[in-house]
Amino acid sequence: MDPELWPRPEGWTAVGLVGHLALAYDPERQPFLVGEGEPIPLERDVVNHALVAAVDRAGMKVWPGGWTHALPAAFGLNKRTTQRDRIERQGLHPAVLLALGQAATHSDADGIGGLLVAIASYADRYGDGYGDLGVALDRAEDAAGKAADILRSVRRPRSLRNRDGFG
């Protein structure tokens, strides 16, 4: 949702497309359509009702086994916040909608979803005591690199497996 392609006022968050226009939220979380001329205000209730299906579609791309537990775990949300009836009444924070939409656009969305939950879980579990989410996520990113290095030491091309004694 590049601001050059979807111009919007400063501080607004564009979260996805509705037809050929972008759905954007102002800082007070009021929804608008942007992209051609002046922003068009939308009724929050109508948007929230439509969000239930949109979140379900995107969530199933990212977490095909079910998103109702994975989405709050990955994004650090209360599970009640992401229940369908609650989304219909109150919507979701624009940052959550944007992040979910970004994850869902990848061809490997389900792999990204698994990583989101794993990295968030690591940061939540082992980032305690740092009091800074950025530090906790940095530690999780470092740990993911270490895990990848461990996998590299064991998972080798087929041509090397038998030579190194791996089946």
Lowest average pLDDT, out of 10-19, 120-129, 156-165, goes to 156-165
Q: Is the pLDDT higher at 1 or at 153?
A: 153
Q: Provide the 3-class DSSP secondary structure of residue 17.
A: strand
Check residue 106 and give its pLDDT: 95
Check residue 132 and give its pLDDT: 81
The per-residue pLDDT for range 90-141, each reduced to its tens digit, is 999 999 999 999 999 999 999 999 999 999 999 999 887 657 888 899 999 9
Eight-class DSSP state of 39: P
Write down the pTM of the prediction. 0.86
Q: Are strands 31-34 and 40-41 parallel, antiparallel or unpaired?
A: antiparallel
Check residue 167 and give its pLDDT: 54
Q: What percent of the chain has pLDDT over 90?
A: 74
Check residue 98 and give its pLDDT: 95
Residue 166 predicted with pLDDT over 80: no
Closest CA to 61 of 18, 119, 102: 102
H/E run at residue 87 = helix 84-90
Cα 97 to Cα 17: distance, rounded to the nearest angstrom: 12
CA torsion angle 119 60 94 19 (round to 10): 140
Query: How confident is residue 73, by pLDDT bands cut at 50, 70 and 90?
Result: very high
Who's near 12: CB < 8 A, 6+ residues apart?
24, 25, 26, 27, 32, 34, 39
Q: In what order do the strands lie in the sheet with 21-25?
A: 13-18, 21-25, 31-34, 40-41
